[in-house]
A and B are shown apart, each in its own frame.
Chain A
Amino acid sequence: MIAQKFEYTAPKSLDEALHLLASGAKPLAGGMSLIPMMKLRLAAPEHLVDLRTIKDLNYIREAGGQLHIGATASHYEIESSALLRQKCPLLTETAAAIGDVQVRNMGTIGGSVAHADPAADYPAALQALEAKFVLNGAKSERTVSAADFFVDAFTTTLEPGEILREVIVPIDDARTGTSYQKMVQPASGFAIVGVAVRVRQNARKVSFARIGVTGLSNHAYRATAAEKALEGKTPSANDIQNAAALVAQGVDANSDLHASADYRKHLAAVHAARAIKSAISRIT
């Protein structure tokens, strides 16, 4: 398992990194996907720019009524953040469900989101949270919504030379409940399917529902039909089942060694129902 020869730079500042990336280098964060691909020689970047040495990419903070998470915040840092646990528990719950301890210590939110593995956990939560991603190039900065960011398997709207610098998520009030439910692929720890739910109730009526689904198709998406089926209702067990049944509707489901398309669709509905129930039960 020996990678091809490559150059490696560990810049101290974001500007320096963006300058190198503009000339064709590839960014390295936790290395949880890139390094194995390089060892198998499925990827052979000539130049790696390590983002972990840039101090001001690693933060989790509240500002302007929103939560800002730097690209190199590790899954463990997110999972154990007191601020996030209080103000965005969906993200800590999702981070805690990723892979195993070693992966959570090394992997970063920016790396995971930018890699856009169709079975990654974060994208489901970030879709449900309607997260925004700040993307920086050497001479540019733009903000893209999660809904627009994920294009296809391993494909995003990131342009060559751009990095995902920051993830922005909202702070919900106490009438909001969230839950992430996942079926684990036992070898990789990725999601066979994962469903993130965020619901708000007003006088027991669902005033707002957001459902993100990962693992089922080529990229994570929001199950808007299921959301609409919940909104305006004081959902009975039946209503929840019916809404959950809509999450996989019309989706061209993935099929592989670990789960057929039919089974994945079925699991998506099961986990959606479980996540909706759990999210509602968490509303204080």
Chain B
Amino acid sequence: MFDGRDPIYVQIADQLRRDIVAGRLQDGDQVMSTTQYAQTYRINPATAAKAFTELVDEGVLYKQRGIGMFVAEGARERLRAERRRAFYAERLDPLLDEARYLGLSTDDLVRYLTGPTGSDSTGDDHAINDPIEGQS
């Protein structure tokens, strides 16, 4: 856990954002306290606190004094919209580079995406039928 090249607090914040986008944490859910987080993952408490502060500053989490931290209303939609904007440049372009490097044509890719083994049949239905598809 948290063995990547980014600072640990960045990796923690990313993990929480992923949990929210995937719906493992929903709007209004209480998240672990920084103390619980530090103890669960055996990481420095100040590092954990830094990650949570960043998410509070971004409006992804909000703090209720004396009670704890919660996922902000609309956090999931906002994070998802951000992720979608970044998806093509950060995820798809490298894949397309790789495909080109391997000599796969656009037709090969289209065939895969629409074919019997493609994502239309095995992919995440939720993502495909998403009502806000195309908004960004």
**A and B found bound together:** no
B-contacting residues of A (Cβ < 8 Å)? Answer: none
A-contacting residues of B (Cβ < 8 Å)? Answer: none
